[in-house]
Amino acid sequence: MSTNIKPKISIIVPVYNVEKYIHKCVQSILAQTFTDYELILVDDESPDTCPAICDEYATKYEFIKVVHKKNGGLASARNAGMKIASGKFIMFFDSDDYVSSDTCQLMYDAISKNPTAWVLSNIHRVNENDEYVSGLDENQALEIFNQCPTYFGAFKMSLSGSVCNKIYNMDIIRENNLWFDESVRFGEDVPFDSPYCQLCSDIVFLPTPLYFYRVVDGSLTHTYHADHLGVYIKLFGIRLPLIKDEEIPKFCDTYFYYFTDLMKNTHDKRNPMSFFEKMRYNHKMMNTKEFIFCAENTTGNNDSPLYMRITRMHNYYLFWLFLKLCDIKQLLFRDIGEQ
């Protein structure tokens, strides 16, 4: 491994409560065919044995640095790693995931040829036993991107929402003072990645799945969030400037489904708000400029004209009543059919 003072790539891995997976993650980085990198493990006050595991790796390998910090969340941990990163390029991996052995080499080659490009790779999702769960194969991904070689193409493939399948130019990051928003505890990748993408001159896509995202029950993206709808509305607004005019209807189709589905999430029994607070919350979200834009620009092809007409009135109380009447109608017809 290289011991250069300024390596070509800095790899930042936030670490929190992942003692079951951290060895797999770090070993996949140590197995890289590309060797001119530094690895920064950021211990976010992990309550398990991860701090000791990180220190053990740092003792064994001089190109591994460890940051021990007070718990502040994923965005805070990544920022802490960025503050000491010395590489020309930077990559972010999550500590319960792992990468292919040629990930750094292929990503470095791509960004070296296109230093101002948004460079991203394909992702496969795996379970706790490293078994394939979902993701496009190389030919499928390449076909989609060739048809839509834009940010929206990456969005369609569910590849735009993570920083872990990308490599970043530190000059662009520093010149534009890009940092992760530490006030955001869910969906924090998009507010960092989307502005970066807007600063790029091109998009380079590697269709080979190089990053393996582990789907773990109880992980951050699989836990309940009371403000899930509000987060999605914010992410919609952040992404919208990257969507071309002709792509807006299909983009809004996707988010319109997200928004209306997440209104049900607001009524989850785990949400501590009262019924009336939940109603007011959804009504407020329905009247945000992002929701209104989405509702006005979606094709509405998947819903009835009446449903769309009521939704576009932006009155959640009326919308909720309409849905309840639809449920009652369904029950009545089901009961009649069973008689």
d(CA 104, CA 99): 9
Determine the residue type at 330: Q
For residues 49 and 180, give the distance between their C-alpha atoms in angstroms, rounded to a whole number. Answer: 26
| Per-residue pLDDT tens over the stretch 108-121 | 999 999 999 999 99
pLDDT of residue 220: 43
Residue 298 pairs in a beta bridge with none
Nearest Cα to 35, choosing from 2, 4, 57? 2
What is the pTM assigned to this prediction? 0.91
- What is the secondary structure of 66-77 as a DSSP string? EEE-----HHHH
Pairing assessment for the beta strands 89-92 and 9-15 based on DSSP bridges: parallel
Cβ partners under 8 Å of residue 259, min gap 6: 229, 232, 233, 236, 285, 291, 294
CA end-to-end span of the chain: 74
Q: Give me the average pLDDT of each 10-residue run along the chain (339 residues).
A: 76 97 98 98 97 98 98 97 98 98 98 98 96 96 97 97 97 98 90 97 98 76 74 96 98 96 92 96 98 97 93 97 89 58
**What pLDDT is stored for residue 217 in this prediction?**
66
Q: Which residue has the tokens 């992990």?
A: 46
CATH number (3.40.47.10, 3.30.565.10, 3.30.300.30, 3.90.550.10) of 9-222 reads 3.90.550.10
d(CA 105, CA 2): 14
Q: How far apart are CA 235 and CA 74, in angstroms?
A: 17
Residue 218: per-residue pLDDT: 47
User: Domain residue spans in the chain?
Assistant: 9-222, 228-338
The 10s digit of each residue's pLDDT in 187-211 is: 899 999 999 999 999 999 999 999 9
Q: What is the dihedral of CA 140, 146, 147, 148, to 10 degrees?
A: 100
